Amino acid sequence: MAIRNIREIGDPVLGKTCKEVKEITPRIQELINDMFDTLYEAEGVGLAAPQVGILKRIVVIDTTGDSPIVLINPKVLETSGEQTGYEGCLSVPGKTGQVTRANYVKALAYDENLEPFEIEGTELLARAILHEVDHLEGHLYVEKVEGPLQDVENAEEE
Ligand code: NI
């Protein structure tokens, strides 16, 4: 188990476009394991490789605490509907803001054997997939926030 250091807003690595994964090496497998350790330690919903300083197209998501999903080279195929809600990011600690995203997403991704699969999600899972794919393009949710970025404590009282 290894917890990696989470890069925070202002770190230039978070603004870069990530590269496709072409093969699963032991280092990549270790990175994925560490990303889950880091995600669970931080009690997050999703984590993208650039958030731990690695510019590769790898995302880990777990919206329930016991449903880990790895998305390698994910590509959004389809979106529909709309949801507006509070969103946060482990790279923007203590903050939250309202973001409107699609309520349904279908994506193509590769698993840890580089086998392709499709994933569909609604609500929180759809939000997580879209949020994490944005990270791979160097985008943070704060660019999409409607209204002010708020402190988590204040937002929860509303
Ligand atoms: Ni994030």
Q: What is the pLDDT of residues 88-110, one digit of tens each?
A: 999 999 999 999 999 999 999 99
Q: What is the pLDDT of residue 156?
A: 58
18: Cβ contacts below 8 Å, ≥ 6 apart? 48, 49, 50, 55, 56, 57, 58, 135, 136, 137, 138
Q: What is the pLDDT of residue 157?
A: 52
Give ∠ CA 77-78-79 in degrees, rounded to 5.
Answer: 140
Tokens representing 93 are 């600690």
Distance, CA 158 to ligand 1 centroid (Å)?
23
Distance, CA 130 to ligand 1 centroid (Å)?
10
Distance, CA 135 to ligand 1 centroid (Å)?
7
pTM above 0.85, yes or no: yes
The answer to whether residue 118 is catalytic is no
Catalytic residue among 78, 112, 132, 137: 132
Pairwise CA distance, residues 90 & 69, whole Å:
17
